[in-house]
Protein backbone atom coordinates (compact mmCIF):
# COMPACT_ATOMS: atom_id res chain seq x y z
CA UNK A 1 0.00 0.00 0.00
CA UNK A 2 1.22 3.49 -0.83
CA UNK A 3 1.06 6.45 1.51
CA UNK A 4 -1.69 7.94 -0.63
CA UNK A 5 -3.96 4.94 -0.02
CA UNK A 6 -2.89 4.45 3.61
CA UNK A 7 -3.74 7.93 4.87
CA UNK A 8 -7.54 7.58 4.39
CA UNK A 9 -7.33 4.23 6.21
CA UNK A 10 -5.54 5.88 9.14
CA UNK A 11 -8.21 8.53 9.30
CA UNK A 12 -11.01 5.94 9.39
CA UNK A 13 -11.42 4.65 12.97
CA UNK A 14 -13.42 1.69 11.67
CA UNK A 15 -10.39 0.35 9.80
CA UNK A 16 -7.28 -1.29 11.26
CA UNK A 17 -4.31 -1.14 8.88
CA UNK A 18 -2.09 -4.20 8.70
CA UNK A 19 1.62 -4.20 9.39
CA UNK A 20 2.25 -4.45 5.67
CA UNK A 21 0.08 -1.39 5.04
CA UNK A 22 1.75 0.59 7.84
CA UNK A 23 5.12 0.02 6.15
CA UNK A 24 4.11 2.90 3.86
CA UNK A 25 5.02 5.21 6.75
CA UNK A 26 8.71 4.36 6.48
CA UNK A 27 11.26 7.06 5.66
CA UNK A 28 8.79 9.92 5.36
CA UNK A 29 10.25 13.24 4.29
CA UNK A 30 9.39 16.36 2.36
CA UNK A 31 5.87 16.45 0.96
CA UNK A 32 5.05 12.95 2.22
CA UNK A 33 5.94 13.99 5.75
CA UNK A 34 3.69 17.06 5.50
CA UNK A 35 0.79 15.01 4.16
CA UNK A 36 1.17 12.51 6.97
CA UNK A 37 1.27 15.23 9.63
CA UNK A 38 -1.87 16.84 8.24
CA UNK A 39 -3.73 13.57 8.83
CA UNK A 40 -1.91 12.72 12.10
CA UNK A 41 -3.11 15.93 13.77
CA UNK A 42 -6.73 15.03 13.08
CA UNK A 43 -6.58 11.54 14.66
CA UNK A 44 -8.03 10.73 18.05
CA UNK A 45 -5.72 10.16 21.02
CA UNK A 46 -6.48 6.45 21.05
CA UNK A 47 -5.79 6.15 17.32
CA UNK A 48 -2.41 7.90 17.70
CA UNK A 49 -1.56 5.63 20.65
CA UNK A 50 -2.46 2.53 18.67
CA UNK A 51 -0.40 3.57 15.65
CA UNK A 52 2.71 4.41 17.66
CA UNK A 53 2.42 1.12 19.58
CA UNK A 54 1.99 -0.88 16.37
CA UNK A 55 4.92 0.83 14.64
CA UNK A 56 7.15 0.28 17.67
CA UNK A 57 6.35 -3.45 17.55
CA UNK A 58 6.88 -3.64 13.79
CA UNK A 59 10.27 -1.93 13.81
CA UNK A 60 11.60 -4.34 16.45
CA UNK A 61 11.23 -7.19 13.96
CA UNK A 62 11.99 -5.18 10.81
CA UNK A 63 15.01 -2.99 11.45
CA UNK A 64 15.15 -1.95 7.81
CA UNK A 65 11.97 0.06 8.32
CA UNK A 66 12.36 3.67 9.46
CA UNK A 67 9.41 5.21 11.30
CA UNK A 68 11.50 7.95 12.90
CA UNK A 69 9.36 10.71 11.37
CA UNK A 70 6.28 9.33 13.10
CA UNK A 71 8.07 8.84 16.42
CA UNK A 72 9.64 12.31 16.27
CA UNK A 73 6.15 13.74 15.75
CA UNK A 74 5.03 11.74 18.75
CA UNK A 75 7.60 13.45 20.99
CA UNK A 76 5.62 16.69 20.80
CA UNK A 77 2.19 15.06 21.02
CA UNK A 78 -0.41 16.33 23.48
CA UNK A 79 -0.87 12.82 24.88
CA UNK A 80 1.49 11.52 27.55
CA UNK A 81 1.34 7.92 26.34
CA UNK A 82 2.21 8.88 22.78
CA UNK A 83 5.15 10.96 24.00
CA UNK A 84 6.55 8.26 26.29
CA UNK A 85 6.12 5.45 23.75
CA UNK A 86 7.74 7.58 21.04
CA UNK A 87 10.83 8.11 23.21
CA UNK A 88 11.15 4.34 23.71
CA UNK A 89 10.61 3.65 20.02
CA UNK A 90 13.59 5.84 19.11
CA UNK A 91 16.00 3.54 20.94
CA UNK A 92 18.23 3.14 17.88
CA UNK A 93 18.26 6.79 16.83
CA UNK A 94 21.87 7.97 16.97
CA UNK A 95 21.81 11.56 15.74
CA UNK A 96 22.54 14.34 18.21
CA UNK A 97 19.55 16.41 17.11
CA UNK A 98 17.38 14.23 19.36
CA UNK A 99 19.30 15.25 22.48
CA UNK A 100 17.78 18.76 22.89
CA UNK A 101 14.30 17.25 22.57
CA UNK A 102 15.05 14.65 25.24
CA UNK A 103 16.51 17.33 27.51
CA UNK A 104 13.26 19.24 27.18
CA UNK A 105 11.23 16.10 27.86
CA UNK A 106 13.32 15.56 30.99
CA UNK A 107 11.26 18.52 32.32
CA UNK A 108 7.94 17.21 30.97
CA UNK A 109 4.90 17.65 33.28
CA UNK A 110 4.38 13.87 33.31
CA UNK A 111 6.75 11.67 35.31
CA UNK A 112 6.52 8.74 32.90
CA UNK A 113 7.82 10.95 30.08
CA UNK A 114 10.61 12.35 32.25
CA UNK A 115 11.68 8.81 33.13
CA UNK A 116 11.72 7.67 29.51
CA UNK A 117 13.62 10.81 28.52
CA UNK A 118 16.26 10.00 31.15
CA UNK A 119 16.67 6.49 29.75
CA UNK A 120 16.81 7.90 26.22
CA UNK A 121 19.61 10.24 27.26
CA UNK A 122 21.32 7.26 28.84
CA UNK A 123 21.43 5.57 25.46
CA UNK A 124 23.29 8.58 24.08
CA UNK A 125 25.68 8.52 27.03
CA UNK A 126 26.40 4.86 26.32
CA UNK A 127 27.38 5.66 22.74
CA UNK A 128 29.47 8.57 23.97
CA UNK A 129 31.23 6.33 26.47
CA UNK A 130 32.03 3.79 23.76
CA UNK A 131 33.35 6.57 21.50
CA UNK A 132 35.19 8.22 24.41
CA UNK A 133 33.24 11.43 23.89
CA UNK A 134 33.38 13.99 26.66
CA UNK A 135 32.40 17.07 24.72
CA UNK A 136 30.01 19.88 25.65
CA UNK A 137 26.94 17.88 24.63
CA UNK A 138 27.96 14.90 26.75
CA UNK A 139 28.53 17.18 29.73
CA UNK A 140 25.17 18.87 29.15
CA UNK A 141 23.43 15.48 29.30
CA UNK A 142 25.35 14.54 32.44
CA UNK A 143 24.50 17.84 34.09
CA UNK A 144 20.79 17.54 33.33
CA UNK A 145 20.62 13.97 34.66
CA UNK A 146 22.61 14.85 37.78
CA UNK A 147 20.25 17.75 38.47
CA UNK A 148 17.23 15.47 38.04
CA UNK A 149 18.75 12.88 40.38
CA UNK A 150 19.61 15.46 43.05
CA UNK A 151 16.14 17.08 42.91
CA UNK A 152 14.53 15.71 46.06
CA UNK A 153 11.17 17.08 44.93
CA UNK A 154 11.33 14.73 41.95
CA UNK A 155 9.61 11.34 42.06
CA UNK A 156 11.98 8.55 43.02
CA UNK A 157 11.12 6.64 39.84
CA UNK A 158 12.53 9.49 37.74
CA UNK A 159 15.53 9.98 40.03
CA UNK A 160 16.19 6.25 39.71
CA UNK A 161 16.00 6.40 35.91
CA UNK A 162 18.51 9.24 35.99
CA UNK A 163 21.06 7.26 37.99
CA UNK A 164 20.52 4.27 35.69
CA UNK A 165 21.27 6.49 32.68
CA UNK A 166 24.40 7.94 34.25
CA UNK A 167 25.70 4.50 35.21
CA UNK A 168 27.40 3.95 31.86
CA UNK A 169 29.93 6.73 32.47
CA UNK A 170 33.25 5.63 33.90
CA UNK A 171 33.85 8.73 35.97
CA UNK A 172 34.65 8.89 39.67
CA UNK A 173 31.67 11.07 40.46
CA UNK A 174 29.36 8.56 38.76
CA UNK A 175 30.77 5.86 41.04
CA UNK A 176 30.04 8.10 44.03
CA UNK A 177 26.47 8.75 42.88
CA UNK A 178 25.79 5.04 42.47
CA UNK A 179 27.10 4.37 45.98
CA UNK A 180 24.94 7.19 47.33
CA UNK A 181 21.83 5.83 45.63
CA UNK A 182 22.58 2.31 46.84
CA UNK A 183 22.91 3.53 50.42
CA UNK A 184 19.62 5.40 50.17
CA UNK A 185 16.64 4.43 52.28
CA UNK A 186 14.52 4.66 49.12
CA UNK A 187 13.83 1.21 47.69
CA UNK A 188 13.54 2.53 44.14
CA UNK A 189 16.90 4.28 44.29
CA UNK A 190 18.58 1.19 45.73
CA UNK A 191 17.21 -1.00 42.95
CA UNK A 192 18.20 1.58 40.33
CA UNK A 193 21.70 1.69 41.80
CA UNK A 194 22.08 -2.06 41.24
CA UNK A 195 20.89 -1.55 37.67
CA UNK A 196 23.45 1.24 37.26
CA UNK A 197 26.22 -1.01 38.60
CA UNK A 198 25.59 -3.44 35.78
CA UNK A 199 25.71 -0.65 33.22
CA UNK A 200 28.88 0.67 34.83
CA UNK A 201 30.47 -2.77 34.29
CA UNK A 202 33.04 -2.35 37.08
CA UNK A 203 33.86 -5.61 38.84
CA UNK A 204 34.18 -3.65 42.10
CA UNK A 205 30.38 -3.72 42.26
CA UNK A 206 30.19 -7.50 42.16
CA UNK A 207 30.10 -8.20 45.94
CA UNK A 208 27.05 -5.94 46.34
CA UNK A 209 25.35 -7.43 43.30
CA UNK A 210 25.92 -10.98 44.54
CA UNK A 211 24.57 -10.05 47.96
CA UNK A 212 21.39 -8.66 46.40
CA UNK A 213 20.82 -11.91 44.53
CA UNK A 214 19.63 -13.24 47.91
CA UNK A 215 17.24 -10.34 48.49
CA UNK A 216 13.65 -11.11 49.47
CA UNK A 217 12.60 -8.56 46.85
CA UNK A 218 12.09 -10.30 43.49
CA UNK A 219 12.67 -7.08 41.56
CA UNK A 220 16.00 -6.63 43.32
CA UNK A 221 17.01 -10.21 42.50
CA UNK A 222 16.05 -9.57 38.87
CA UNK A 223 18.17 -6.41 38.71
CA UNK A 224 21.08 -8.13 40.46
CA UNK A 225 21.04 -11.00 37.95
CA UNK A 226 20.83 -8.52 35.06
CA UNK A 227 23.69 -6.47 36.51
CA UNK A 228 25.84 -9.59 36.85
CA UNK A 229 25.33 -10.19 33.14
CA UNK A 230 26.41 -6.63 32.42
CA UNK A 231 29.63 -7.07 34.37
CA UNK A 232 30.15 -10.56 32.88
CA UNK A 233 32.52 -11.90 35.53
CA UNK A 234 32.70 -15.66 36.10
CA UNK A 235 32.61 -15.16 39.87
CA UNK A 236 28.86 -14.61 39.56
CA UNK A 237 28.15 -17.95 37.84
CA UNK A 238 27.44 -20.09 40.96
CA UNK A 239 25.06 -17.45 42.30
CA UNK A 240 23.29 -17.10 38.96
CA UNK A 241 22.99 -20.89 38.83
CA UNK A 242 20.90 -20.76 41.99
CA UNK A 243 18.66 -18.06 40.53
CA UNK A 244 17.86 -20.23 37.50
CA UNK A 245 15.54 -22.09 39.90
CA UNK A 246 14.09 -18.93 41.45
CA UNK A 247 10.39 -18.91 42.28
CA UNK A 248 9.96 -15.78 40.16
CA UNK A 249 9.81 -16.43 36.41
CA UNK A 250 11.41 -13.13 35.43
CA UNK A 251 14.30 -13.69 37.83
CA UNK A 252 14.88 -17.13 36.29
CA UNK A 253 15.01 -15.66 32.81
CA UNK A 254 17.32 -12.83 33.92
CA UNK A 255 19.74 -15.34 35.46
CA UNK A 256 19.71 -17.53 32.35
CA UNK A 257 20.31 -14.50 30.13
CA UNK A 258 23.17 -13.31 32.35
CA UNK A 259 24.87 -16.70 32.06
CA UNK A 260 24.74 -16.32 28.28
CA UNK A 261 26.34 -12.88 28.54
CA UNK A 262 29.17 -14.26 30.67
CA UNK A 263 29.75 -17.26 28.43
CA UNK A 264 32.53 -19.79 28.86
CA UNK A 265 32.51 -23.48 29.82
CA UNK A 266 31.12 -22.94 33.34
CA UNK A 267 28.16 -20.91 32.13
CA UNK A 268 27.48 -23.40 29.36
CA UNK A 269 27.53 -26.28 31.84
CA UNK A 270 24.94 -24.55 34.03
CA UNK A 271 22.75 -23.75 31.03
CA UNK A 272 22.85 -27.34 29.79
CA UNK A 273 21.96 -28.55 33.30
CA UNK A 274 18.98 -26.19 33.36
CA UNK A 275 17.80 -27.46 29.98
CA UNK A 276 18.13 -31.10 31.01
CA UNK A 277 16.10 -30.59 34.18
CA UNK A 278 13.05 -28.86 32.70
CA UNK A 279 10.33 -29.39 30.13
CA UNK A 280 9.13 -25.79 30.41
CA UNK A 281 9.14 -24.37 26.88
CA UNK A 282 9.70 -20.84 28.19
CA UNK A 283 12.82 -21.89 30.08
CA UNK A 284 14.11 -23.93 27.14
CA UNK A 285 13.68 -20.95 24.83
CA UNK A 286 15.57 -18.75 27.31
CA UNK A 287 18.41 -21.30 27.51
CA UNK A 288 18.60 -21.54 23.72
CA UNK A 289 18.87 -17.76 23.45
CA UNK A 290 21.50 -17.67 26.20
CA UNK A 291 23.62 -20.32 24.51
CA UNK A 292 23.43 -18.35 21.27
CA UNK A 293 24.55 -15.26 23.19
CA UNK A 294 27.43 -17.26 24.66
CA UNK A 295 28.46 -18.27 21.14
CA UNK A 296 28.57 -14.63 20.12
CA UNK A 297 30.43 -13.54 23.27
CA UNK A 298 33.08 -16.16 22.71
CA UNK A 299 33.31 -15.77 18.93
CA UNK A 300 31.68 -12.50 17.80
CA UNK A 301 33.03 -12.61 14.25
CA UNK A 302 32.24 -16.25 13.60
CA UNK A 303 35.87 -17.32 13.49
CA UNK A 304 34.97 -20.50 15.36
CA UNK A 305 32.76 -21.69 12.54
CA UNK A 306 35.43 -21.04 9.94
CA UNK A 307 38.06 -22.68 12.12
CA UNK A 308 35.90 -25.76 12.63
CA UNK A 309 35.30 -25.99 8.90
CA UNK A 310 38.99 -25.62 8.23
CA UNK A 311 39.86 -28.37 10.71
CA UNK A 312 37.25 -30.65 9.17
CA UNK A 313 38.67 -29.98 5.68
CA UNK A 314 42.21 -30.70 6.86
CA UNK A 315 41.09 -33.96 8.43
CA UNK A 316 39.32 -34.94 5.24
CA UNK A 317 42.46 -34.23 3.20
CA UNK A 318 44.53 -36.32 5.63
CA UNK A 319 42.08 -39.20 5.24
CA UNK A 320 42.30 -38.96 1.47
CA UNK A 321 46.06 -39.21 1.65
22-60, pLDDT tens digit by residue? 999 999 999 999 999 999 999 999 999 999 999 999 998
Average pLDDT of 184-199?
Answer: 97
Distance CA 29, CA 69 (A): 8
Residues 125 and 179 in one domain: yes
Scanning the chain, the segments in alpha helix (DSSP H) are 3-11, 19-22, 30-40, 45-61, 68-74, 80-89, 98-105, 111-130, 136-150, 156-166, 172-182, 187-200, 206-212, 218-231, 237-243, 249-262, 264-276, 281-298, 303-320
Domain end marker among 166, 200, 234? 200
Q: Is the dihedral of CA 296, 298, 301, 307 positive or negative?
A: negative
Residue 299 has pLDDT above 80, yes or no: no
312 by Cβ neighbours in 10 Å (0-12 / 13-18 / 19+) ranks as exposed
Q: CA 209: distance to chain centroid?
A: 20
Average pLDDT of 218-231?
Answer: 98
Which residues does 321 contact at the CB level (< 8 Å), separation at least 6? none
Residues 101 and 82 in one domain: no
pLDDT at 303: 40
pLDDT at 184: 94
Distance CA 270, CA 256 (A): 9
Residues 83 and 133 in one domain: no
Average pLDDT of 121-126?
Answer: 97
pLDDT at 317: 45
Query: Do residues 121 and 169 lie in contact, with contact meaning Cβ atoms separated by under 8 Å?
Result: no
Domain end marker among 72, 87, 102? 87
Residues 297 and 196 in one domain: no
Query: Do residues 117 and 102 lie in contact, with contact meaning Cβ atoms separated by under 8 Å?
Result: yes
Query: What CATH number did the domain enclosing 136 receive?
Result: 1.25.10
Give me the long-range contacts of 141-144 (CB less than 8 A, separation at least 24): 141/99, 141/103, 142/166, 142/169, 144/103, 144/106
Lowest mean pLDDT among 99-103, 169-173, 308-312: 308-312
- Residue 301 binned pLDDT confidence (cut-offs 50, 70, 90): low
Residue 310 has pLDDT above 80, yes or no: no
pTM assigned to the model? 0.87
Q: For the stretch 262-280, what's the b/e string if a residue is b when 16 or more beta carbons lie within 10 angstroms of its beta carbon? A: bbeeebbebbeebbeebee
Domain end marker among 149, 174, 200? 200
Q: Which domain covers residue 11, as residue numbers? A: 1-87
Residue 114 has pLDDT above 90, yes or no: yes
Distance CA 193, CA 167 (A): 8
Residue 316 has pLDDT above 70, yes or no: no
Average pLDDT of 112-120?
Answer: 98
Which residues does 123 contact at the CB level (< 8 Å), separation at least 6? 91
In a domain, 207, yes or no: no
- Residue 61 binned pLDDT confidence (cut-offs 50, 70, 90): confident
Query: What CATH number did the domain enclosing 248 receive?
Result: 1.25.10.10
Amino acid sequence: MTLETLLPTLADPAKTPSAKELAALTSLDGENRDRFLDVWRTLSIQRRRDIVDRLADIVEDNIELDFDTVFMSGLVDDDVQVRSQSVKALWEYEYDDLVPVLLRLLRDPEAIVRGEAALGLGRFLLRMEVLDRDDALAQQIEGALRARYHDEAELTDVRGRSIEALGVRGKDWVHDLIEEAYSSSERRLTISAIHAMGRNADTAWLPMIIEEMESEDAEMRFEAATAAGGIADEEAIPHLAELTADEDVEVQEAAISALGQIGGPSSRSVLHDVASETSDERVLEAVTAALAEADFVEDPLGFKIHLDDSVADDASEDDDE
